[in-house]
Structure 1
Amino acid sequence: MFTDVRLVMVFADDPEVSARWWGQVLDLPVKTDVSPTGAVYAWVQAGGVELGFHPADDERNPRGGSPVVYWGVDDLDRARDHLLAAGCEHHRGPLVIEPGRRIAQLRDPFGTVIGLEGP
């Protein structure tokens, strides 16, 4: 029934700015689509998953309505340091959740909480 994660959507005040920041951090190209109303949807494609940024809307798509998505990483400390240097803020962890497996959460410059999971 469920196979894999294909799209993670984040609701942002400025979707293109958010996507461009992530594109730079992950060294990935940014794609954009502009609706007839002028709303911008922007995204990057990483590891088969689309990380998309949609305009926040207090009625339909409020900030904070997004799940925490965990990126698999080979070196949690190095990935965390990279994101902190790029402008993220510490949110939680790193925590050992089982032997050989740790997680950490950070908040990007636009308020989105993301997770890292790795050794």
Structure 2
Amino acid sequence: MFEGVRTVMVFAEDPESSARWYGELLGVPVRVDVGDTGAVYAWVETGGVELGFHPADDARNPRGGSPVVYWSVGDVAAVRERLLAAGCAHHRGPLTIEPGRRIAQLRDPFGTVIGIEGP
């Protein structure tokens, strides 16, 4: 049924700024699509996953209404420090959730909580 994650949608106040921050952090290009109404959808791709940023809308897509996505990383502590240095804020963890498996959550500069998970 589910074969893997293809797209993670984040609802943001400024989709293009959000995408550009992630593009710079990850060293990947940013793609931007401007719709007929002027709404901007912007995205980056990493690890075969599209990380997309759609305009927040209080009625349909409120900021923070998306799930926390955990990205697989090789070193939770090192990636956490890199994210903090890039402008993220501590949210939760790091926590050991079982032997050999750790997680942490951070809030990006735009308010979205992201998770990292690794050994």
- Mapped pair 1:36 → 2:36: yes
- State the partner residue of 1:101: 101
Question: What per-residue deviation string (whole Å, max 9, x for no partner) do you get for residues 11-62 of structure 1?
Answer: 0000000000000111110001000111000000010100000000000101
Secondary structure of 1:59's partner? coil
CA distance in 2, matches of 1:102, 1:2: 24
Question: What per-residue deviation string (whole Å, max 9, x for no partner) do you get for residues 90-114 of structure 1?
Answer: 0000000111110000000000000
CA distance in 1, matches of 2:55, 2:2: 27
Displacement of 1:63 after TM fit? 1.0
Gaps of 5+ in 2: none
Q: How many correspondences in the alignment?
A: 119
The correspondence of residues 68-83 of structure 1 with structure 2, limited to 5 A, is: 68-83=68-83
CA distance in 1, matches of 2:20, 2:3: 29
- Read off the aligned partner of 2:31 and give its amino acid letter: K
- Root-mean-square deviation (Å): 0.4
Secondary structure of 1:95's partner? strand
- Read off the aligned partner of 1:14 and give its amino acid letter: D
Gaps of 5+ in 1: none
Secondary structure of 1:5's partner? coil
The correspondence of residues 1-119 of structure 1 with structure 2, limited to 5 A, is: 1-119=1-119
Seq. identity, %: 76
List, as ranges, runs of 4+ consecutive aligned residues in structure 1 with deviation greater than 3 Å.
Answer: none
CA distance in 2, matches of 1:58, 1:8: 19
**TM-score with structure 2 setting the length:** 0.99
